Every structure is written in structure tokens, then in C-alpha cells.
Chains A and B, each alone.
Chain A
Amino acid sequence: MAVSRRGFMAAAASAPVLMTVQEAMAQGVAPRRGGTLQMMLTPEPPVLQIGVNQQGPTLAAAPKIFQGLLTFSPTLEPQPVLAKSWTVSPDGKEYVFNLQENVKWHDGQPFTADDVVFSIMKFHMELSPRARAIFSLIETCEAKDPLTVRIVLKQAFQPFLLMFDATAAAIVAKHLFDGQDYRTAPAVQRLVGTGPFKFTEWQRGNFVRMDRNENYWKPGQPYLDTIIYRIIPDSQSRRLALESGQVLLSQASDIEPFDIPQLRQRPNLEVDTKGWEYFSPLSWIELNHRVKPLDDARVRRAMSMAIDRNFIVNRLWFGVGKPATGPVASTTRFFDANAKIAAFNVQQANALLDQAGYPRNAQGVRFTLKHIPLPYGEIWTRLSEYLRQAMRNVGIALELESTDAGSWARRVGNWEYETTINFVYQFGDPTLGVERTYVSTNIQKVTFTNTGGYANPQVDALFQQARAAAAAADRARAFSEVQKILVEDVPQIWLMELSFPTVYDKKVRNVITTGLGVSKSFDDVFIAG
């Protein structure tokens, strides 16, 4: 199962980007104009202004309204969006973007290079921690003319282009935000972008509606008249809505993984697990290294060996996703297939713990650890229940404490946990999404930093080397080496390369065409008659 799945993913990754369009054309289905696409948005985001809010649901819905300079293919090659073309200087420091002509904001104002400079240097620099970390490397960012943006970096930074997708740095209208508090500006409630759909209505707790942008810069597009996101809080109700055809598409965690097998049986539905290559979420058991004996690498390795990742993927997630082999997901750049964590082996795990000096007591328990399941739905509770079982096999008692999302974020952020589950986006490049969890310079009391407190000078140095090197080959060497160290040290116990199923009615076409899945503009999506 695992092998055939890997082959399937590899084939998909190497296929041409617009495969689905060609497929559709081959079947004689020309894009059809018109129709309303009803989807779901879970959970309902508080604000849809990208940048002000960066939650998953916002990143899925807002790219219909806002666009970035680029987007990325399933193999993470940059593709033009608002930037028609671009050049990178040989030393990797100067980037020049040539912008699309005749692009207008939804309020009729022209889109220019000034909007791009404002979005990068002011808007995202102020609002987004992720963008701030990268854009602070910029020395100058200027509008050479209304359709050309030139950026010079203080030092070469190879993953720089990855920051220009709509989900990372959407371009916003300068005339609506400049000089105001970006979080409270009126435009946050009345969204204005350059995308194929205009924001029309949001009845909170009910639906978000977007309508076709008649002045969209791609001629003849978008095909859909209207996109409606329904807010359906209960997962079983969402499944029913999809099965009964009241909505045509489900995304991200709309549908629980254990409902997927039944949905695969439905002849009218397509279950697609591609489209997560850019985010590449990786899940792991998050260990707090300040808690003994989690500071002992042998203990961490033994715990990792006690887990049957194939069971997690096949029995809990029903084949959606794949077992993790290390700190870098196989879909992220610079993944080294040779650096692998030790295989599942309960006997060896027990031997390792005996060796490390943690004997079993009369009840067969070596030590007890507290564990907070991730409060994001039933599936995560099931995962933690499996882990309790797996740890019991090697004499480690895992005590589950349930909590809600607010307490989870607070406790992880304040290092007030022993073990928990976490999953983190990799954003295409280890410097962007992997480094942060392992370097000692990023040990902070904030979620998604190195909250575990792992510190290894060698790892720090290699990540720094990979960050600073201009050439991909140099970076690859450093990343391979750091992956080899990390799979031995097991600072966090990687479990799964997550993927989220996109389930849709087969008459909806061109749904997943990029490495960003449903977080794309949908200007090419249509409903076949």
C-alpha cells in the first residue's frame, strides 16, 4: 500500500502542471462559463483580509480575491500571476519583477508597482511574522516604473521567490491602507483585491459570497459566476452536505479522514490528496526537552522506534498522507531520501531504553509522561490514543490531558507541556519552514518556534550555512548533513507528512492544478454541464 502510494505521488509530482486542463480538453470538455460553486469554510475565519489573518481557512478563501506576484507548481517551480516575468541576478541579490498590464483593483483603481512596494515593505512587514523574518533581508525595494519592481537583498537568499505566493505575501491596495492602522482599516471589512472574484457578502455563521470580477485581467476568465462558502460547524453535517450535493467541494479538514473511505465509493465524487506540496505540513510528537528524560537522545529514538507509522497512515488516516521519514517532508525542496529515522521495532526500542538506564518497575512502567492531544478534531484524539498504546508497549505511560485550542496554544507557547502533537507547514524550503523548529537561536515562548528547546551547535551552524549560501548545490549539501544529524538525534518525533483530501463532484474541473491546492484563485475552475 505504502509503496504504490509513493509511486502515485511521484508520478503526480512530475506530471505537467495543467494536466487537468489537458485531460478535460482530451475528453472534449471545453471550459463552460457560468454557475455557482458552493464550498465550505471550516472553521469560520474572523477576518478574510489576508495578512491581517493568516489562518488556514483565510488562506484557502482569500486567494480568490487577492493575488500574489507568483504561484507555485506541484514541484514548486514559480509561475507568473501578477508578475508577468522576473529576473534574478547571478549573485542572487537582485530581483526584478515585470508586472501584468491592465490590472485593476476591484474598486476600479489601477494596480501599479507602488502597490507591490507598499505590500512588501509596509503591509506585510508590519503584520506578518513570517514575511517580516524574510523581508527584513531587503535592502531596497523600489518601483522603477509603474510596471517594474526592483528588489535588492542585503545578502543572497535562495528561497526568496517562495515568499511571493498570495498566501505568503498577497498584494494589497496601497490607496486603501496607507497611513491607517492596517488591522482596523475599513478595507478589512470590504475586501478589495485584483483577483477573479469580488467579495460581495458575508453573513457571519452562515456564508461568504464572492462574485465574478467582470474586469479581471485574464480575458474570458473566471468561468464561474459565483463562489459561495457555507459555514457548517459539524463534521457529519458537512459530510451529508457533500453527499447530498448541496455543496460541490470540500477542502482541508472539512471532512474527517475516517469518512474518506465511504466517500471514495461514491461514483460522482473525486477524492484528491494532492495540492499540499507548498505547505507540506509535517506532524510530530512535540517533546519538551526541559522535561527529563526527554533530553536523552536514546529515549527519543526509542520512542520513535515504538511507533508504527504505517498503522497511523493506513488505519487512522485511511491512506491520506504518508509516513514521515525525517524532519523534511518529501515534497519540500532539499529532502534527502537517504536520511531516514530508524524503522519501527518494539524489541529494539525496549532494548535501547534498558541500555539507557530506565528499567521497568513492578507495573512494567519505566516512566510517565503527560500528553496533550491536539484539540483540532476527533482524528487527533484517536492519534493520541494510539500513541498511548504504542508507548505502553515499551513501558512508557502516556497520560492524556484534554484541552481546547486556546489552552493548547498558550501552554505550548509557554513551554508548559511535556509532550503534545503539533503539525507545522514547511513552505517549500527547509530554511522557511523547518529551520525554525530546531535552531537554538529560535527558542522562544511563542508557538511554532523551537518551543521544545532543542540545542545543537552543529545543527545551528548547518542551517545557517544553508540559509546564507547562494548556490542550490551548497545548500543541498548542508541540508543533507543536517538531516542526517537530526534523524539520529530525533529532537521531535516525526509522524506523518499530512495531506488533506479535497473531495469534489466530478463535474467541477481544474480544482487542483498547483502546489497550493485549493489556495489558488479558481479563475480556471469551471463546472462542466
Chain B
Amino acid sequence: MDPSRLPGFLLRRGVKAAIVILAIVVCNFLLIHAAPGDPASVIAGQSGAADERFLAQLRRQFGLDQPLHVQLWIYLKGVLTLDLGFSHRQQLPVWTLIRERLPATLLLTGAAFAFAVAAGVTLGTLAARRVGTWADSIITVIALTFYATPLFWVGLMLVLFFSVWLEWLPSFGMATVGVELHGIDAVLDVAKHLLLPALTLGLFYLAVYARLTRATMLEVADQDFVKTARAKGVPEGQVVRRHILRNALLPVITFAGIQAGQLIGGSILVETVFAWPGIGRLAFDALLARDYAVLLGVFFCTSVMVVGFNLVTDLLYAVVDPRVEVEG
């Protein structure tokens, strides 16, 4: 890659990204408002008693008495100044709500992601090198099993085994509440809570990475340059690492790029089963409560993540494979 072309590339992609995100915001806004029910009627339905004045007060306070295009315009103006609005339901700014929950989700999905990529690529490589042997079969069966099993079921089974029977690990939450922990104890406490949800989420993706790595490695291993490398006496380990794996990684990176974009929103099920206080849950609850501002805020963050990671993926291609040129 020619470094001098990078600033222009980033600029062009940045403009495109901004347009895409803006279009997403408008679509989301219209879609959400098309769903039946509004936050006021949800609150009335949950309060056990209501009258016309109560509904009117809430709708005025939430700004729902304005025509839709005015509401959209107010929201867009806010987003352009990086103000994600206010959740009248929870009486807090949307950004405060998202910021509170973001670290939990990033920790969970980040750990699951790292585990899935590392273990998946390793297992895939092992399987490819021992193709046709019992080791290959075992890895393939394990990968398929986790790929085909519903996430929440894996989660519940892990809880049954590790929390209920063995009583080794806590079954829910992100940290022990009600006890003061400091330093290394606090870190270990969170790690103990993190293990099961990260494993649950990671196992599914691990299967994908393992299968992908195995398949592409087998494909690359047959190519002429690998034979050449072997013929000129390069040690087998080096052949695998430098010649096969590196070339086999491109599809893995593509998939990792897509998954990284979903890091924020992709863990609703696991967050639910393990009561993990993350952003997926925030979005789901906001949807049920028709808390428009929060939902749009989460969507905005996810779309920024997706667009951002697409950009990073494109740059990574060029690093792994110098033949790839970055183009706007």
C-alpha cells in the first residue's frame, strides 16, 4: 500500500460513512415510529390506573404531540451536534444511559471475540494439518455442535453445570454486589462472572472461525507456492505459518470485521440469560417500552461501529496481503 494515498482514502470513506449513518438514522426513526404503541400508552398500561390528562401530560413531555417531521428534524439536529437526546421515561440523557452500559458490553463481547478468534483459528489450523484423522473429526464435530446449538441453551447448561452443580462460578451479574472489593480481588471477581457468558457467546463464533480456517487452509495448502516452499526445504512449521495461514486469513478477517461491527448489539440473548448489564439489554428493554430516544441512540452507536470496523477491515487486508490496494 502506498502510504501517501491514505489521507485521501480516509476522507472519501469518511464522507461516505457520514451519509450512510445519516440515512440509517432517518430509516430507524421512521421504522420505530411505525411500530404500534407509544411510550405514554406503555406507561399508562403499566401504571394500573390512568386518565386522559395523564396521557396528554406524558405525550407533551415526551414531545409526541409534535408532528412526525418536526420530531425527526429535532432529532436530526441533535444527532448532528452529537446530542443523542433525552430519555423521558428514565429521566436521563441517552448518552448517559449508553455510556453506563457500554463498558460491560465491550468487555463481554471483546472477551468472547478474542477467545473465538484465537481458539477458532488455532483449532481450525490443527484440524487442517491433521485432516482426516480423529483429531480433525473431533474438532469438526465440536465446532458443528456449538454452531447448531441455541446460545441461550448453551448458557443455561453451563450455568447448571458450573453454578448449580459444581458451585464454582456465579450464574448471573457482572460482579459481586454488596461486598467491597479492591485491586486484584475486584478484577478476579469480574473475571469469574465474565467466564460463563463470554464462553457461551464465544463458542458459537469459535465454531465459525474453526470451520472457516480449516476450509481455506486446505484450499491454500494445495497451491503451487506451498509446494515450492516445501520443495526448497522450508521447515513445515514455517510453511504453515508463513505461507498457508497468512494467505488463509483473508476470509477470516472478513468475517471478524463483520462480527466486530456487531459487538455492541449481538449479545442480547447472552446478556439476558446471564443478567449482564450491557447495551443489548438496554436496547431490548427500550424497544418494549417504546423508549424511542434510547433505541435510536443504541442504533446510532451500532451503525457507527459497523461502519468503523468496515474501514478497519479494509485497511487490515492491505496489511496482511500487500497485493490488496486501498481504494475509496
Contacts and interface: CB of A to CB of B under 8 A. Distances in A.
B120 interface: no
Given A46-B289, A406-B35, A233 B41 contact: no
A207 interface: yes
Contacts of B37: 404-411
B261 interface: no
B45 A244 contact: no
Interface size class of A (residues with CB under 8 A): 35 or more
Given A206-B174, A246-B171, A54 B47 contact: yes
Contacts of B91: 46-47, 52, 183-184, 188-189
B49 A129 contact: yes
Given A189-B91, A240-B171, A244-B167, A444 B35 contact: no
Interface in B80-108: 87-92, 97, 100-101, 104
Contact of B275 (A47, A232, A447): A232
A231 B271 CA distance: 11
B41 A406 contact: yes
Given A54-B47, A237-B171, A410 B275 contact: no
A110 to B, nearest CB: 27
A425 B48 contact: yes
8 contacts: A46-B89, A47-B90, A205-B285, A234-B272, A240-B159, A444-B52, A446-B51, A446-B54
Contact of A407 (B35, B46, B271): B35
A52 B54 CA distance: 11
B53 A129 contact: yes
Nearest to B44: A447
Contacts of A56: 46, 48
A407 to B, nearest CB: 4
A209 B38 contact: no
Interface string B153-196: 00010011001100100111110011000000000000000000
A320 to B, nearest CB: 20
A132 interface: yes
Interface stretch (A36-44, A268-276, A474-482): A36-44
B288 interface: yes
Interface in A45-75: 46-47, 52-56
A20 interface: no
A404 B159 CA distance: 29
Contacts of A54: 46-49
Contact of A209 (B89, B164, B177, B285): B177
A21 B214 CA distance: 67
A409 B167 contact: no
Contacts of B88: 183
A226 interface: yes
Interface string B99-136: 01100100000000000000000000000000000000
A411 B275 contact: no
